[in-house]
Structure 1
Amino acid sequence: RQDVIDLVRSAQLQWPSHLEWHPDVWDRWSRKFGVVSGHKSWTELLPDLLKFESTHEKAAEDPETQERFLEERKKRQDSAEQLAQVIRQIHEAGLEWKKCRTAQEHRRWLNRMGAKWIRDWDSKSPHMQTIRKLVNALEPLDQLVHATSEAVSEDKVPARRGAKLSHKDVLRFLERRFREEPISWGDHGGVAFLDFMQARGLVFDHVFLLGFNADQVPRPATEHVFLSDMVRRKLRTLTKRPLSLASESMGEEQLLLAQVVASAKQHLSINWQRANERGTAKAVSLQIEEFASFLPQGEQPLSLDERMQAPPPFGPDRVPTHPGLAALRAEKRWGMLSELELALASSYLAKGQGAQACAQSFARLEAPAFTRQDQFAFVEAIESSTGDRRYDGDPGRPIAEEPLYSASSLQRLAKCPLQYFFRDVLHVRPLDDPAEDLRLDARELGTAVHLILERVFQDLIKPDSQMDLFSSAGPLALTSETSKRAEKSLERHWNSVMEPLGNRVRKRYPVFWDAAAKTWKKELREFVAKDLKRLHEMGMRPEAVEAKFDTKLHVPGNPAFDVPATTMRIRGSLDRLSRKESGELLVSDYKTGGNLDNWIMPKNYLNGNYLQLPIYWMVAEQMTDGAPVASELLGLGFSFLPDQGFVRKGAHSLPKTFSKHRPGLEEALAVFDSLYRKGRFPFHGPARPCNYCEFKVACRRHHIPSKNRVEEHPEHENYFLSTQRQSKKPTLDALAGGKP
């Protein structure tokens, strides 16, 4: 998948002019639909999935929305067909290449491909001329392979079968030649970036060896594509020529290194990484010992380990990773700084003393006239304990729009306000995860299961005509007819809802899909049967499914802690509502994954980590005239096999102590809402959830100055205190010992 996306994004290739090129869109589709590998995934599967893509089940009820969706689907399908056309051409060209057996055939094929696909293939630029020269240099390989085959045929050394050149042989040969061939750019002075092979025989005023790490120097030994060490030894004996062997490449590597070192007339600098981009330590090449004889010596000879730890001039000069220190080092060593480096060095010298101190440090560095106050302010804002907190995700002013919450977004605000700010205020949407083989998207599968249960119970609620949302009908009558109707409804809706998902997976993994579908159907049958029986025994009657609500919750604040009372508008839908004749209301929510115990623990809903069930309880309470309310979670699916879930262990309900903890929960909701209204969105969260956060690349929680600014801000104190709520200390008064 990624190879194809990289290919269509390449600026070096030219594409048919009549095509509309949208590589970013294709990347999103491949992630969404699970395209992993294989040309048929692009040429057949992806266009089919877009062709039969269905709109959201609710949007399908709106003719205007449906018409707009069909128009967009046609455009997406056409775009996918265009991509498929290109992939077919490349695939067919690859099959043609595999049929080539001689160097002449390979050369002609490569020239045709270059003229068709590579931008400026016929240009006279030095690098294109070099590439064409290397491709045309394939021609003598026929004679080489034939001669090699004859030379070894008299011995026990195995000859190449039929003296044919495969496309893999040619590819390896060209890759090696591209690495070794110097490209003539012309010598106009300045800076040249070369590898050891390209630099041999040349002389420079200054030489910088970059990447002098153990995994780079010396290069790993690899045998020649066509002349293995076994063949070369035989040819040595027959021709009396000193052919090199991969097993003897260390001597060649040392000679190359010596030539590069000798090419420096004035200055030689050896540089290596202490760690890679992930922070993993990297070792310097052991070839560093070759420089020991002309490095500065102390009173006593130094071992390699001692020299690596010694300060300059006897040991290496460590380049600071802090940008301010690195800029100061550059100023001290070279006497030159860019404008950005100048700002960084000045701000570091000022050390949080403000923009005025930065300006004074400019004068200390004898900088030219330079008044970029915006750079001063920028560095001050991100590196000092005061300044502009917008770099920490703090807008600095109340949000103009009145908040409209859902249970999940309110939970997101409680867990990490900064994540809520990115997703629900700025409406940032991260790119989908790359596709993985044999992956069934949990969200997509969960939506499908919810939809099946919604339609099954909808058929039971209104088999013939629409019923009122809160009817006074009696308890559910569990009869054989009810069970048959539920079974028939489940079978019908399974086919219509699961068909798009099944079409996608079954094409590649028919056995896997059949097994998964069989398990899911069995789980749903048992779930519906047990649930109907339970509702009958409880005297409950299913009253509404996917019941939409848009209501206001009035929650008291805590004036002592400057937490005002507030009214929160909350919108969403309840998976199912059931009611007794006495008026008692039961809210049921389906879950297809996760640890359900976490949702009903008082500590978890008091500190805001799991708010959905309590929120639904409070919403349902407003739908009754003082009648009792209960809320429950019903788990089903693979995540609960073999011994968990509703079918095996029953429902998960809020504890009886919820009424006792409710004041603390309402106070916590008031604290969370106050963050939005003040425009305060501090980052927060333990390490594990942060590792899976969609916005971790934009978060500054690991930046120490930002962390200090956020945690020490007085308007964040109530929030951080609220995240510590527990059943024994559910309120701010209890947490703070009564002291605001």
Structure 2
Amino acid sequence: MKSFTHILAYGFYDLTGIEQDFWGEIFRFFPTTLFLPYQKKHNAFTYVKNFFESFVLRFAHSIEELPEDNLQGFSCLLISELKEHTDNINPSLEKLINQKKSIIKTINVSGKKDELWTVAKEILKLADEGCKMEEIGVVARTLEPYTEAINKIFKEHHIPFITSVQEPIEKYPLVKAIQQLLLLKRENYYRPVVIDLLRSPYFKIPAAGHKGTIPRPDQWDLLSRKLYIRGDINCWLSRLKQAKSKLSEFNKPDNKINSGYSEVADEANGYIRIPAIQIEFLENILSKLSNDLSSIPEKASWSVMSERVEQLIRNYISLPSEGINSDEQNRVQLILDKIFGLLHFLHTIDCLSEEVTQDQFIDTFIDACRHEALPLGYENCKGVKVLDAMSARGIQFRALFILGLNEKVFPRAISEEPFLRDHTRRKLCEVLGNYIPEKLKGYEEERLLFYFLLNAARERLYLLYERSDEAGKPRIPSHYLMDILQNIKAANKKNASLTDKSAFEIYVSRSIKEKLHNKEIPLLTLREIGIRLALEHIEFVPFLKTFGKDTHLFNRLKTTSDNVEDYKTCLTAHDGIVGDMSEWWNEKIHQSFSPTNMETFGLCPFKYFLEKVLELEIFEEPETIELIPAIDLGTLYHNILSDLYNSLIEKRYFNETKTKEINPLELLQDITKKHFERIESELPIPYPVLWEVKKDEVLTFLKRFVQWDIEQIKQMGYIPSYIEQTVKLGLHDNIIKYFSESLEFPGCQKIKFGGKIDRIDLKISKDKVDFRVIDYKSGKFSNDNPLKSAIRGKKLQLPFYIIMAEHFLREELKKGRLTDKDINLEKASLVYLTHDELEEKSIKGKDWEEIKGQCLETLREFLQYIRDGIFPVSLDEDTQKCSWCEFITVCRRSNHPLQFRLGKDTRLKRFREICNLSVKKKNSN
């Protein structure tokens, strides 16, 4: 520094303790001129006062106060002097108002995106008026909340801009894919990470002997969910191998899937929809990826680690060949160059002659990526300056937009530190001389920064604040803005030019229609012009054709929107009215309708359409399941009880008196243990301790039921005779004949019904055979009346099982397996195994005779609706079931026009009546 004859210092108004020592030495030994922003009598400079008096005056030999700039901007909008004016009007403000070229605007919007959208429109206006882009500034206290919106909105409006903000590269999908690749082994091949990596456009899927095969990550995701894979490469490979073997079994000609029984086919859905080549493709990819990741040494030098990781990235990461424009491709290539640059830098650490573990190297590399950033905006251009308040100090603008003038934003939220309050900091400074800045003085600095910004604008000043956020939650304007508005209000009394509020305030509506309607067409983007024309019902197909847009797609979208929002008196194709179902129907009747399927239609026809016709399926995320899926738990209960009662029947436990040596509970325990072991071998158990608790719970529920059931059998004299009995109702059954005679379409005599009855118990006497039907339930207990639910089509399992059991027993009579006697229903029961108190919901024989006709009529109406292609959203007023429906996001049940159409459509008259049916009591006479 001795080579300098004089030193000029500027750009700061406060220093930390170490910085004060540094500059103090410079001031002491070198001729220095300090330019300090400070006005003694101005309240905006209160923050600088202490620094000026305690530090600057200690070293200053002379002080020169420069005259005020004639073009002092808009700083007079604040109360600029400590003393009050006698007339309560700031003379500088009056002078500013009298200058016609000075324009002040306050703009209130909803959300940060609307702030920048409005700024973009105003910038375009300024450009049309001759203002150069480089003379315009956009400033916020901090730009982090606006970064993404600035980049998107300004580029949509083709506004060039430069900014000090940089975008961290870790936000980009390319860097995310690289991080996932390197952490895959450490994450134990966690399913969501594996699927995200395979879906990434930057992941180069190895052909692995499958050249020409199109990768299907969507199918791999479904398959991994169906196989309940959570992670672990061994689990991945073993379950994929199981899937291939099961698929080969399902595809055998003699398999039951080909027999037409739908419930068996449903078990195979997860496999038969995924081609074998895709399962093998995924298996080979994971196997190769695992081998390559395992080839990276656990411990090696920095250079070896860098080379291996770089080679891995080059093998598995590449730029997509399509779906990316040239600008994005250049930006992604720049990121990739930075990544390889970091690896080369880590290579140089090898000079320390130390080895590093694989985890340490990867952590160091990922941490280095977090500190890398790319410049936002345009390079080497004269554009709008987008800066934060600190970076904007000392820069002049012809027009300035100040964003985010809300409380806790500008000024920012400041509070004292609980463990070192401001008064303690002050004492430490006064007594010990240790300078520790006081927290609450930050408010004084905020006011100083705001003063600088007001002073930076020369001709136009735009003050923007949010009256509400994007969600509509109210926001409080900054008290800086309130002070300015108060001063302007006072000036109104003397200046007629500001009496009109619209002269200095702009209100931006939340409504997209109003926003676009209030803007001139030249200020709108092509997309916004299209939206505006559509909202104003102006024909703009010529506009679309001019700019090469898809008019056919637009017309379809507009028609759909009109139909969805129209208050018609009938439902449309967008409400589940799909029309002719003959093709699907002809295929379906060769299989069979199950009770569960018909229950689904009764609860919600629209859900039936999505689930059974379109065959949409919701797969759970295995990693979110704490134990085993609910459907597998229910199957476990059924399988255990099936094996138990089959064993007891084989051992003639219910027929012989000499079987006291058979203990059903001991047999239950052995069977349960066998099924638990099977579950553990087939399904991943994420939390073994919870699984042990669940096993105890399952066994406890089953023991309670078996004890209760055996006691019931002894008291009532029933004997379990048929377990998990599959029954089909075909052409010669009376029920099918009833439907064929009453339904209004051809081919209805081919309808089949099928189901599996958990248990049929018989009590054979001299002149009749009494039977009862038992269906196990492991789910939530239902308080619904079984009779009312049956006739309304909400609970159809028991009616179906009664009809099927009667049919099955008549067939047994014909085959001579039962003596020729009258068949009489005692009752059909749903037994809730897991309820606090063992509960059963039953339909007794005499009740069945009363509701049988109503049930069949309901079922007939359902079949007619299905054949006609009428699948409306549920008409039931009880919406509790909707809370757990998988399709709640697409049904639009809460849409008011849809509710209107549901209430007016005459085709649903009979369905509405079914939803309100009551049991008709037969006349005893």
TM-score range, shorter chain: 0.5 to 0.7
Deviations 1:550-570 (A, max 9, x none): 22636989x9xx999x87642
Q: Which of 313, 318, 321 in structure 2 is aligned with 1:119?
A: 318
Cα separation, 1, equivalents of 2:829 and 2:247: 24
Q: Distance in 1 between matches of 2:644 and 2:342?
A: 67
Q: Distance in 2 between matches of 1:554 and 1:398?
A: 20
Q: Tell me how far apart the structure 2 counterparts of residues 79 and 438 of structure 1 sit (CA, whole Å).
A: 26
- Answer yes or no: is the 8 Å Cα contact 1:212–1:284 preserved in 2: no
CA distance in 2, matches of 1:275, 1:501: 50
CA contact (8 A) 1:589 1:633 kept: yes
Do residues 534 (structure 1) and 726 (structure 2) align?
no
- Measured in 2, the distance between the counterparts of 1:592 and 1:88 equals 44
Alignment-derived partner of residue 770 in structure 2: 584
**Letter paired with 2:772:** L
For residues 447 and 16 of structure 1, the distance between their equivalents in structure 2, rounded to whole angstroms, comes to 39
1:612 is displaced (CA, Å) by: 1.4
Superimposed CA distance per residue, residues 653-700 of structure 1 (whole angstroms, 9 cap, x where no aligned partner): 558544334443333333322321221111025433222212222212
Output the CA distance in 2 between the equivalents of 1:127 and 1:58.
46
Q: Secondary structure at the match of 1:584?
A: strand
What one-letter code is carried by the residue in structure 2 that aligns with 1:591? K
Q: Hey, what does 2:559 align to over in structure 1?
A: 377
Q: Secondary structure at the match of 1:573?
A: strand
CA distance in 2, matches of 1:92, 1:522: 49
Secondary structure, aligned partner of 2:662:
helix
Q: CA deviation at 1:479?
A: 4.1
1:574 to 753, 757, 761: 757
Q: Which residue of 2 aligns with 1:409?
A: 597
Q: Which residue of 2 aligns with 1:670?
A: 860
Q: Does 1:616 align with 2:801?
A: yes
Q: Does 1:602 align with 2:787?
A: yes
State the 1:592 CA deviation: 1.1
Check if 1:628 corresponds to 2:855: no
Match of 1:45 in 2: 235
Aligned length: 642
Equivalent residue for 1:644?
837
Alignment partner, residue 717 of structure 1: 909
Deviation of residue 274 (structure 1)? 4.7
Distance 1:434 1:462, change over 3 A: closer
Question: Could you report, residue by residue, the CA deviation over 1:288-325 in whole angstroms, capped at 9, with x for unpaired residues?
Answer: 95597489956799xxxxxxxx99963641231xxxxx
* 1:27 and 2:221 aligned: yes
CA change 1:287–1:441 in 2 (3 A) is same
Match of 2:318, as an amino acid?
R
Question: RMSD of the alignment, in Å?
Answer: 6.0
The answer to whether the 8 Å contact 2:516/2:532 transfers is: no
Separation (CA, whole Å) in 1 of partners of 2:571 and 2:673: 56
SS of the aligned residue for 1:628 comes to strand
- In the alignment, is the contact (CA less than 8 A) between 2:644 and 2:671 conserved in 1? yes
Residue 43 of structure 1, CA deviation: 1.7
Match of 2:607 in 1: 419
Aligned-partner residue type, residue 385 of structure 1: Y
CA shift digits 1:233-252 (9 cap, x unpaired): xxx9xxx9x99999999899
Give the whole-Å Cα distance in 2 for the aligned partners of 1:251 and 1:107: 50
**Aligned equivalent of 1:513, options 682, 691, 696:** 691
> What amino acid is the match of 1:621?
E
Contact 2:828/2:843, CA 8 A, preserved across alignment:
yes
Per-residue deviation at 1:483?
6.8
Which residue pairs with 2:646 in the alignment? Answer: 458
Seen in structure 2, the aligned counterparts of structure 1 residues 55 and 14 have a Cα distance that, compared at 3 Å, is closer
Q: Could you tell me how far apart the structure 1 residues matched to 2:362 and 2:643 are?
A: 56
Q: Deviations over 1:528-566 (max 9, x none)?
A: 454345334433333322222222636989x9xx999x8
Whole-Å separation in 1 of the counterparts to 2:397 and 2:312: 39
Q: Distance in 1 between matches of 2:247 and 2:216?
A: 28
With over 3 angstroms needed to count, the CA separation of the structure-2 counterparts of 1:378 and 1:166, relative to structure 1, is: closer
Paired with 1:166 and 1:243, the residues of 2 have a C-alpha distance of: 38
AA at the equivalent of 1:24:
D
In structure 2, what is the equivalent of residue 226 of structure 1?
none
Q: CA deviation at 1:349?
A: 4.3
Tell me, yes or no, if the aligned pair for 1:575 and 1:588 is still in contact at 8 Å.
yes
Are 1:200 and 1:259, in contact at CA under 8 Å, matched by a contact in 2? yes
Describe the shift of the 1:452–1:632 C-alpha distance in structure 2 as closer, same or farther (beyond 3 A). same
Contact 1:461–1:543 (CA<8 Å) still a contact in 2? Answer: yes
Q: How does 1:380-395 map to 2 (within 5 A)?
A: 380-386=562-568, 389-395=572-578
The alignment partner of 1:578 has SS state of strand
Counterpart residue type for residue 86 of structure 1: L
Tell me how far 1:504 sits from its aligned partner. 5.9
Q: Quote the Cα distance in structure 1 between the aligned partners of 2:582 and 2:457.
A: 63
Q: Distance in 1 between matches of 2:442 and 2:295?
A: 39
Matched, 1:547 2:713: no
Contact 1:406 1:570 in 2 (8 A): yes
| Counterpart code for 2:635 | T
| CA distance in 2: counterparts of 1:172 and 1:245, whole angstroms | 33
Structure 1, 2-11 or 491-500: larger mean CA deviation: 491-500
Superposition deviation, residue 209 in structure 1: 8.8
* Unaligned runs of at least 5 residues, structure 1: 144-164, 222-235, 302-309, 321-325, 351-357, 465-474, 731-740
Cα pair distance change 1:612/1:493, threshold 3 Å: same
Q: Distance in 2 between matches of 1:207 and 1:3?
A: 45
Matched, 1:691 2:876: no
Distance 2:725 2:674 in 1: 22
Contact 2:399–2:461 (CA under 8 A) maintained in structure 1? yes
Stretch moving more, 18-27 or 580-589: 18-27
Does structure 1 residue 524 correspond to structure 2 residue 690?
no
Q: Is the 8 A contact 2:467 2:477 kept in 1?
A: no
Contact 1:298 1:314 in 2 (8 A): no
Give the conservation status (yes or no) of the 8 Å contact 2:645–2:723. yes
Summarize the Cα distance change of 1:550–1:205 in structure 2 as closer, same or farther, 3 Å threshold: farther
Unaligned runs of 5+ in 2: 1-189, 258-267, 320-328, 352-359, 415-428, 493-500, 811-821
1:462: Cα distance to partner?
A: 5.0
What aligned pairs does 1:151-550 form with structure 2 within 5 A after superposition? Answer: 171-172=366-367, 174-175=369-370, 177-178=371-372, 181-182=374-375, 186-187=379-380, 274=468, 281-282=472-473, 284=475, 289=480, 293=484, 314=505, 316-320=507-511, 326-327=512-513, 329-335=515-521, 345=532, 348-349=535-536, 359=539, 374=556, 376-386=558-568, 389-402=572-585, 404=589, 405-433=593-621, 435-461=623-649, 476-477=654-655, 479=657, 481=659, 484=662, 490=668, 493-494=671-672, 496-503=674-681, 508-550=686-728
Between stretches 396-405 and 694-703, larger displacement belongs to 396-405
Q: Equivalents in 1 of 2:665, 2:409: separation in Å?
A: 65
Partner of 2:282: 79
Percent of matched pairs sharing the same residue: 20
- CA offset digits 1:126-150 (Å, max 9, x no partner): 444455566777899999xxxxxxx
| Residues 1:695 and 1:668: Cα distance change in structure 2 (over 3 Å) | same
Matched position secondary structure for 1:588: strand
Mapped partners of 2:583, 2:458: distance in 1? 64
2:509 alignment partner AA: R
Contact 2:343/2:365, CA 8 A, preserved across alignment: no
